[in-house]
Amino acid sequence: MSCFFIHPHPHLSSTNMRLKLPITCFILEIILIILFGVLVQYNHETDAKEWYNETQSGHSNYENDFYYRYPSFQDVHVMIFIGFGFLMTFLQRYGFSSVGFNFLIAAFSLQWATLMQGFFHGMHGGKIHIGVESMINADFCTGSVLISFGAVLGKTSPVQLLIMAMFEVTLFAVNEFVVLSVVGAKDAGGSMTIHTFGAYFGLVVTRILYRPNLDKSKDRNSSVYHSDLFAMIGTLYLWMFWPSFNSAVTAHGDAQHRTAMNTYYSLAACTLSTYAMSALTAHDGKLDMVHIQNAALAGGVAAGTAGEMMLTPFGSMVVGFLAGIISVLGFKYLSPILEKKLKIQDTCGVHNLHGMPGILGAIVGAVTASVATVEIYGGGMEAVFPDVADGTIDASFQGVRQAIALAVTLGIALLGGLIVGFILKLPVFGAPPDTVCFEDSIYWEVSLTLLFCCSLSFLRRFIQTSTLTPEGRSHRQQVS
């Protein structure tokens, strides 16, 4: 029955997006366009006149930040749209929504993030100046929203997601401003500002949106063979380009170079510990795709804060190794507890991929910062810890700053998630009923097809039915 892509409730008006989605999209986009018209300007590297003047005063075109950062930007861009989008296609009949809503809320978030982040740290004479670095930061902020999307995946309408994105981007920008500019912490790869923030925000939202009867949709809340292969596309792009993610906005030169390399080794070590733990915790030694798809990425999350520091490849590998172990243990033992005891229905397990590894990354960052010395960093201290380099503070206090930043991030994420969760609970946004969560056909035209949907259980039922005829029975013996 539920085995076909029939429209389960063809006339269910509450989830009908005919007016809700267009109105939301048009209002948001028109507001964005107006604000961009009023507030946003090219920065000195994207403006024809200003860059020309810079080249006249001795700069060369290859010094334009475009050439330092655009390849990293494109890698990050792939992570946001292909990486996050396909990682979430593991659900058997939620592929259109995973990729499609990911696409929609990312396209919205990156515009809104340009404005929000610009308000807090890009204003020049009342105008927001933008270039490749602001584009990367907008993608980063979008990544945080997509992490929260992972927690509520399958249980929210696109209108809810856009509303969530609007608030979350705003709070992200506030938190980022507090962490980086007020507290003075470092977080180039966003272990705190992106991963910890996105994960705990999303976890609180999904807690507020708790559905006691979600098991009515449990048939769909699992993967099938092909959907797991599609999800591996997402996993691998996230894994491969994470070195670009962590290094995209660090200082030029050695800092970008070192961050990419640290992340590379952290991820490699994490992959081995993930495979080991996956086989070890399985009841029959078989690898679990959920672990491979997710926990193998924890090394990138955990190297987000300290990646730009002199963590060394050795240190990166230790961090990645631990992150993989923690993440698999989280999927295996903690997630069921969170769901049963704390009523946190975390569809993608973002707590295991982004939450705990993000906190681990923050702690590693604090420790690594606190032991920074001039012997190790030399004149390069200025690029990594400017306040330590100029003597304003000593390294151990930088460690304290990092710890405060983690606490601030957790506070804003939890409080923000709480408020936004209650807003999303308003019964006007077209959330799906409990019986048809994790189902594309609520919001998408889905061609009538067997694919993705014909589970063995159906076939078995079918065969059992058919095989009550004498001929079928003989066949059944062949099959089972």
Q: Within positions 364 to 383, which residues make up the interface with a second copy, using CB under 8 A?
A: 376-383
Report the nearest approach of a second copy to the CB of residue 133 (Å): 11
With beta carbons less than 8 A apart as the criterion, state whether 188 and 247 touch.
yes
By beta-carbon proximity to a second copy, the closer residue of 4 and 119 is 4
Using rule CB under 8 A, residue 265 touches a second copy: yes
Chain residues 427-446 in contact with a second copy, contact rule CB under 8 A: 441, 443-446
By beta-carbon proximity to a second copy, the closer residue of 285 and 391 is 285
d(CA 209, CA 46): 43
By beta-carbon proximity to a second copy, the closer residue of 136 and 413 is 136
Please report how many Cα atoms fall inside a 13 Å half-sphere around the Cα of residue 219, on the Cβ side.
Answer: 16
Site string for a second copy, 319-358 (x = CB under 8 A): --x-------------------------------------
Scanning 179-187, 193-201, 210-218, 286-294 for contacts with a second copy by CB under 8 A, the matching segment is 286-294
The only residue of 178, 360, 366, 384 in contact with a second copy, by rule CB under 8 A: 384
With beta carbons less than 8 A apart as the criterion, state whether 381 and 389 touch.
yes
Site string for a second copy, 114-153 (x = CB under 8 A): x---------------xxx--x------------------
Report the nearest approach of a second copy to the CB of residue 407 (Å): 28
Report the nearest approach of a second copy to the CB of residue 212 (Å): 26
Query: Could you count the other beta carbons within 10 Å of the beta carbon of residue 248?
Result: 29
Using rule CB under 8 A, residue 229 touches a second copy: yes
Using rule CB under 8 A, residue 218 touches a second copy: no
Beta strands in 119-267 (DSSP E): 123-124, 127-130
Burial 303-333 (b: 16+ CB within 10 A, else e): bbbbbbbbbeeebbbbbbbbbbbbbbbbbbe
Q: What is the dihedral of CA 334, 336, 340, 346, to 10 degrees?
A: 90
Token pair recorded at residue 363: 């702690």
Using rule CB under 8 A, residue 3 touches a second copy: yes
By beta-carbon proximity to a second copy, the closer residue of 342 and 479 is 479
By beta-carbon proximity to a second copy, the closer residue of 3 and 419 is 3
Using rule CB under 8 A, residue 25 touches a second copy: yes
Token pair recorded at residue 444: 């998408």
By beta-carbon proximity to a second copy, the closer residue of 197 and 264 is 264
- CA triplet 132, 133, 136: central angle to 5 degrees? 90
Sign of the four-CA dihedral 142, 145, 147, 150: negative
By beta-carbon proximity to a second copy, the closer residue of 5 and 172 is 5
With beta carbons less than 8 A apart as the criterion, state whether 174 and 412 touch.
yes
